[in-house]
Structure 1
Amino acid sequence: MAKKTNYVKNGKEYYRVTATVGRDANGKLIRKEFYGKTKKEAEAKKEEYLLKIRNGLNPELENIIFGDLMHTWLFEVVRVSVKPSTFERYESLYRNYIKESELYSLKISFIKSLQIQRYYNRLYQEGKSSKTIRSIHKLLRSFFNYAVKEGYINQNPCGNRKVVIPGSAEEKTERKIETFTDEEIEKIKEVLKGHRLRALFLLAFGTGLRQGELLGLKWTDIDFKKKELKVQRTIKQVTIIDEKGNREYKTIEQIPKTKNSIRTVPIPSSVIPVLREYKKMQMEEKLKAGSAYLNDIENGYVFTTELGNPIDARNLIRAHKRLLKRAGVPYKNFHAIRHTYATKLFERGVPLKIVSALLGHADVSTTANIYTHVMPKEKITAAETLNDLLR
């Protein structure tokens, strides 16, 4: 009768088989042992292990805890490859939605699409928006792509169409874009008379620049003769997080949002004298502050505090709220100024491609998708041009 075992360990008999699974850093063969109650069971374990290797999966990594690996990936891979503001957003999603979740302590090889779906469903039922869940999903999908690439798992459980974002159907309704009416703009202009940041707000209405682009403008970016400005940077207040998780709040310069965001934008003629007047006021503030003034007026930032510091975005938002309240205009966020700029251009017949370029969007489809509320009017106008032909 054939011997059923060939190895004894701790007084118990097993059948042992071995396999060569590669070479170490010195070129030496790496052999792994597999045990079973019978030869068939041991061989099955060996074949399963080798199949995983052939499929690009590292079986030695299957027991890694999902949350621990994601933390390592986030701080050692992502942190050094994205903007500080982007990492701040990712770290916040991880800390608020992953670290304390039911997914964190699971072995990475155990996580399936259904578990993620249940997690998303619970978040939605607890009142989290589809937008928030979609942000979490994008981060998880990126992480699992890394895990597949490194051999921790062989499939991404957040892959295309494997998980549904709850509430997405309701979000597909037409996007509401807030803009200021002509009457509201007149009220705002009236209140801006004598306002220290009059030039900033009028330039915002006249160019559609993003908040960070406005605050990142330098006097060298403005060409008074050509009546245009160049968008070359943004400034943003972000929390810088180091590899140990220590946090420090800083104002930093960044490259603009997309490649197309680096652009030249015309300045309305009526805003040019307002900018000149603001520059003169800034020089007076510098003389008054003396050595305490921190900004180089010729080469430094256009919009600063009275002591020459970059304007904190939070303070600009507060100024925006106070301005609207004084003007008796219902609150709309600062980005509504940008939407107003684009909408007014469309209403005046400026082509979609030109508006897209002025806004610095990544492509024309982005502009079209955002401003669908204006497009119907454009289509009607286009159709009306055929009246003479069909009359």
Structure 2
Amino acid sequence: MASAGLAGWRVVDPAGETVAPIERFLRDFAARGSSSGSVRSYAYALLRWWRWLRHVEVAWDQATPMELREFVIWLGQARKPQADSRTVTAATAGKINLITGKRHLGDGYEPRTVRHSNAVLRTFYEYWNELGEGPLVNPVTLQRPGRGNAHHNPLLPYRGDNRLRYNPKVAKRRPRAIPDERWDQLFAGLRSDRDRAIAAIAVSNGCRAGELLGLRGVDVDWGDQLVRVVRKGSRAEQWLPASEEAFVWLRLYLAQLDAAPPGPNEPLWWTLRRRRGTSGLRRRPLTYDALRAVFRRLNALLGTNYSMHDLRHTAALRMSRDDGLTTRDVQTVLGHAQLTTIADVYLVEDDAAVLGRVHRHLCERREAAARPAPPVAAGYDAADLSVLFGQDPQ
């Protein structure tokens, strides 16, 4: 649950009391400069672990790798708790969308969630081992302890020396670019100039949803058509370019605000919400959940399952396939720390292009098989026979 303390989030037991080991760890984690979203993610991972330990009746400081193994097995079979049961999405959960080719979110824990949970628990127990108050052996063990990648060459792939033992395998993600014709349909389905401005900026420079929602009035440079975002990992400020179309929609959105435009230090994106106990609408900053609601309405209209992150993938693939931009340019705009991330994720062959070339190969073989074999006769020139039978001498 959310709290007003340093960490911003805390985990409570069934009696409503704060779980002290998690509270101390989260305070330390937040003091290291972690964002509120990261603290929230770690808190939920530890909450799942604490519930599991309570179920198997094992104290947190007596957990062993065997408890972690059973926990990982349970996560692979369990269903995620939901406040409300699925209604509209019950028929599509875990299935492939025929339009986008993406899989809808299922009711279980994804392998990436399990891997993240293991990483959180490893960090949690390392913190307590340093203090000398946790178990003697970290229950989250390594598959093959090694030297890591302290002197890693950034042009070479990383080795899996420090892979966690019970991490499930994850299929390599493919970039999810939205085709141009689908992008036109998506953009036409947006209902407000605010949403059009957000989508146009995101597809221009590939900034993340959280970075985009953090824009203030002072973070817009109208003259050079730049926006300043705070990067997700490093928290560094960075100016990014945006298209002329994006600034046109941004101007239209600001001109339609009922109240005065946002001040220099006020949020740039606003929405109207009805406050409990009142009858009127009040202007409030746009949140991530409200932006997700925009895409839920859009997906219901188009029959798709797009998300804001698909706009980032679209921008990344468009830039990576432009001969005028280098890989370093794409890395800088996207804000990736490793150059290998760009090469591994975005500099891959497009499936549609590969399929097109294979289809052309098959058509050429079929056409070659349909052509009659050149006649062969002793004493005659092959070129003369080609002219006689109306064939190309070449």
Structure 2 counterparts to residues 202-351 of structure 1, below 5 A: 202-232=200-230, 256-259=231-234, 262-282=237-257, 285-286=258-259, 296-306=262-272, 307-326=282-301, 328=302, 330-349=304-323, 350-351=325-326
Mapped to 1, the partners of 2:215 and 2:205 lie a distance apart of 12
| Structure 1 portions without partners, runs of 5+ | 1-66, 233-255, 288-294, 379-391
Is contact 1:260–1:361 with CA below 8 Å preserved after alignment? no
1:68 shift after superposition: 6.8
**TM-score, normalization: structure 2?**
0.61
Mapped to 2, the partners of 1:101 and 1:190 lie a distance apart of 50
1:372 shift after superposition: 4.9
1:70 shift after superposition: 3.7
Query: Which amino acid is the alignment partner of residue 157 of structure 1?
Result: P
Tell me the percent identity: 20
Cα distance, 1:185–1:158 mapped onto 2, change above 3 Å: same
More strand by share: 1
Structure 2 counterparts to residues 184-199 of structure 1, below 5 A: 184-192=182-190, 195-199=193-197
How much is the aligned-residue C-alpha RMSD, in angstroms? 3.3
2:340 to 345, 362, 365: 365
* CA-to-aligned-CA distance 1:305-362 (integer Å, 9 cap, x gap): 2544211221211112323444x36221221011111111112232221111111122
Structure 2 counterparts to residues 61-210 of structure 1, below 5 A: 70-71=21-22, 73-74=24-25, 77-78=28-29, 80-81=31-32, 82-101=34-53, 105-106=57-58, 110-126=62-78, 128-152=109-133, 153-161=135-143, 164-165=165-166, 167-168=168-169, 171=170, 173-192=171-190, 195-210=193-208
Mapped to 1, the partners of 2:193 and 2:270 lie a distance apart of 14
Mapped to 2, the partners of 1:74 and 1:154 lie a distance apart of 18
Mapped to 2, the partners of 1:74 and 1:103 lie a distance apart of 22
| Structure 2 portions without partners, runs of 5+ | 1-17, 79-107, 145-163, 273-281, 354-394
1:155 shift after superposition: 3.5
Is contact 1:121–1:166 with CA below 8 Å preserved after alignment? no
* CA-to-aligned-CA distance 1:284-311 (integer Å, 9 cap, x gap): x116xxxxxxx73454222112544211
* CA-to-aligned-CA distance 1:248-275 (integer Å, 9 cap, x gap): xxxxxxxx31227531111112322222
Query: Which one has a bigger Cα radius of gyration?
Result: 1
Q: Which residue of 2 aligns with 1:13?
A: none
Mapped to 2, the partners of 1:103 and 1:180 lie a distance apart of 44
1:105 shift after superposition: 4.5
Mapped to 2, the partners of 1:78 and 1:223 lie a distance apart of 35
- The number of residue pairs the alignment matches comes to 277
Mapped to 2, the partners of 1:206 and 1:212 lie a distance apart of 16
SS at match of 1:229: strand
Mapped to 2, the partners of 1:321 and 1:109 lie a distance apart of 43
> Of the two structures, which has the highest relative contact order with CA contacts closer than 8 Å and spacing of 6 or more?
1
